[in-house]
Amino acid sequence: MTRTALTGNDAVAEALRQVNPDVAAVYPITPQTEMMHRFAEFVADGLVETEFVTVESEHSALSATIGASAAGSRAVTATSSQGLALMWEMLHIASGLRLPIVMPVVNRALSAPINIHCDHSDTMYSRDSGWIQIFSENSQEAYDNTIQAFRIAEHMSVRLPVMVTLDGFIISHTMETVDLLEDDEVRKFVGDFEAEYSLLDVDHPITVGSLFLPDYYFEAKRQEHEALINSFAVIEEVGKLYGELSGRKSGFFEAYRLDDAQLALVVMGSAAGTATEVVDELRGEGKPVGLLKIRLYRPFPTASITKVLARIPVVGVLDRAIAFGLEGGPVYHDVRSALYGQTTILQSFIAGLGGRDITPGHIRTMFDILADAKKRGKADDKTRFIGVRE
C-alpha cells in the first residue's frame, strides 16, 4: 500500500493505470479533462499498454468504446455533464449490447445556463439507461470504486456497463490523502478480461446489434433488467473481497449513527463528508441524528434501504438535482418508494446546484426542518430548496 496525496481525477487515473485497460477513447470536457491528461502521461511514459483513441466527440468516445468492448477488449472512457448528455443514445446501446464498459463520470451541472461546477443532474438523468451507477464521497472512494467497477461489470452474471461518479471540482480537483493498492494487487484483483464473444474471433463470426422486432425485443430488455438485478449480489461480493484486500469495506450504502437516530438525512457524493461532520456536532449537542450515504444508486437497493430507514421517524433526502415538474428530487422519489407503506415522515431537500456550496450550516438547517417535521407530525408538501436566494 502506498499513501499519497491525489485529486479525485488523479486517483481515478491511477486506478486506470493499475488496471491497464486495452482501449481508452477520450474527449475533453471540464472537469473530467485532467483525469485523461494524467492518463495520457501514463501512455506517453509507456506505463500502460492502452490504445489511446482521442476521438472527436463524446458520442464517438462511447461509440469507439462500444466497438472496442464488442471486439473483446477491456475498454474505458470518461466524461462529465454535456458529454454524458451527448452520449445519451449510446448509453442505452452499451447496456443493451451487454458490454462491460467502465466509465468514470465527473458530476457537473447540465446547461442551460451553462455551468462547469458540481451537481448530479448529469448522472441523475441517465439513471434509467441500464448502467450500474456508483457514487463516491471522496478521492479514496473514487479510486476504490473504479477498481471494483471492472470486476462488477465483467462478472458473467452481470456483463453491464458501470458508471463511477465523483463530484466535479469538489472531489475531482481537491487534493486528498489516498491509499493506493500495489499495481500487482490491482491486476490480480481485476484479473484478465475474457470476452464471451468477440468481433475479432473471425473463425466464429457473430452479428452484434441486430434488429429486434416485437417478437424478441421485450425478452432482450427483460434480460437486461434481470442482469441489473443480478448485479446486487455481485456488487456485494466484490465489495467484500475488495474490503479484505484493502481494509476498506464497500456496501450498497453506509449507515452512520443510524441505530438510535430519530432524524436521518440521505445523501450521495461529497456532501456526505460535510453531513458526517454535522451529525457528529449535533450528536455532541445531544440530538439523535444520523446519516445514510448511498453508494449504489443503480440498481437501487430498495429492500436494504427500507430495512435501515423504516424504523426512523423522520427522514430527509438531499438531492443535488431537480426532478422537473415534480415535487422532490430523483433520490427522494426512490427513497419514498422504498418507504411506501411505512410511517416514516419524509422530507425532500434540494441543494448545491451548479456548484453552490453545501455548507455545514445548510445541513444544520435541514436537520432543524426535520426536527420541526417530527414535532408537527408531518413533512412539507413541497421540496425545500436550501441555500438558494428566494
Partner 1 sequence: MAIRLKDLSAKPDLFSSGHRACPGCSAPTMIRQMLLAADCPVVVSSATGCMEVVTTIYPYTAWRVPFIHSAFENSAATCSGIEAAYRALKKRGKINREIRFIAMGGDGGTYDIGFQSLSGAMERGHRMLYICYDNEAYMNTGIQRSSSTPLGALTSTSQVGKVAWGKQQPRKDLTACMIAHNIPYVAQASPHNFRDFMTKVQKALATDGATFINVFSTCPRGWQFKTEDTMDILKLAVETCFWPLYEVENDKWTVNYKPKQKVPLIEWLKLQGRFKHLLRPENEPVVARLQRDVDRAWEELLKREADSKAAAPAPAAGPEEKK
As given in the structure block, the three cell numbers for residue 386 are 436550501
Q: Does 184 bind partner 1 (CB under 8 A)?
A: no
Number of residues counted as binding partner 1 (CB under 8 A)? 43
Residue from 3, 45, 49, 375 binding partner 1 (CB under 8 A)? 49
Q: Render the burial of 174-208: b for 16+ CB within 10 Å, e for the rest.
A: eebebebbeeeebeebbeebebeebbeeeeeeeee
Asked whether 7 and 185 are in contact (CB, 8 A), the reply is no
62 or 346: CB nearest partner 1: 62
88 or 385: CB nearest partner 1: 88
201 or 237: CB nearest partner 1: 201
What is the smallest separation between the CB atom of 174 and partner 1, expressed in angstroms? 32
Residues 203-242 that bind partner 1 (CB under 8 A): 205-213, 216
Q: Which amino acid, residue 26?
A: V
99 or 315: CB nearest partner 1: 99
User: What is the pattern of x (binds partner 1, CB under 8 A) and - over residues 51-90?
Assistant: x-xxxxx-xx--xxxxxxxxxxx-x-------------xx
Asked whether 276 and 178 are in contact (CB, 8 A), the reply is no
What is the smallest separation between the CB atom of 229 and partner 1, expressed in angstroms? 23
What is the smallest separation between the CB atom of 96 and partner 1, expressed in angstroms? 9
Contact region for partner 1 (CB under 8 A) — 183-191, 202-210, 273-281, 371-379?
202-210
Dihedral angle, C-alpha 152, 155, 159, 165, nearest 10 °: 10
What is the smallest separation between the CB atom of 85 and partner 1, expressed in angstroms? 15
The position carrying cell 437497493 is 301
Asked whether 306 and 335 are in contact (CB, 8 A), the reply is no
What is the smallest separation between the CB atom of 213 and partner 1, expressed in angstroms? 7
Asked whether 154 and 193 are in contact (CB, 8 A), the reply is yes
Q: Is 233 helix (H, G, I), strand (E, B) or coil?
A: helix
Asked whether 103 and 68 are in contact (CB, 8 A), the reply is no
What is the smallest separation between the CB atom of 208 and partner 1, expressed in angstroms? 4
As given in the structure block, the three cell numbers for residue 352 are 448545491
The position carrying cell 456488487 is 235
Smallest Cα–Cα separation from 99: which of 90, 108, 87, 111? 90
Q: Render the burial of 148-159: b for 16+ CB within 10 Å, e for the rest.
A: bbbbbbbbeebb
Residues 15-44 that bind partner 1 (CB under 8 A): 22-23, 25
**Type and span of the H or E element at 2:** strand 2-6
2 or 57: CB nearest partner 1: 57
d(CA 374, CA 369): 9
What is the smallest separation between the CB atom of 21 and partner 1, expressed in angstroms? 8
216 or 307: CB nearest partner 1: 216
What's CA 82's distance to the chain center, in Å?
A: 17
Residues 90-129 that bind partner 1 (CB under 8 A): 90, 93, 97
96 or 288: CB nearest partner 1: 96
What is the smallest separation between the CB atom of 89 and partner 1, expressed in angstroms? 6
49 or 390: CB nearest partner 1: 49
What is the smallest separation between the CB atom of 202 and partner 1, expressed in angstroms? 4
90 or 350: CB nearest partner 1: 90
What is the smallest separation between the CB atom of 9 and partner 1, expressed in angstroms? 23
**Type and span of the H or E element at 4:** strand 2-6
d(CA 241, CA 216): 37
72 or 387: CB nearest partner 1: 72
Interface with partner 1 by CB under 8 A: which residues? 22-23, 25, 49-51, 53-57, 59-60, 63-73, 75, 89-90, 93, 97, 199-202, 205-213, 216
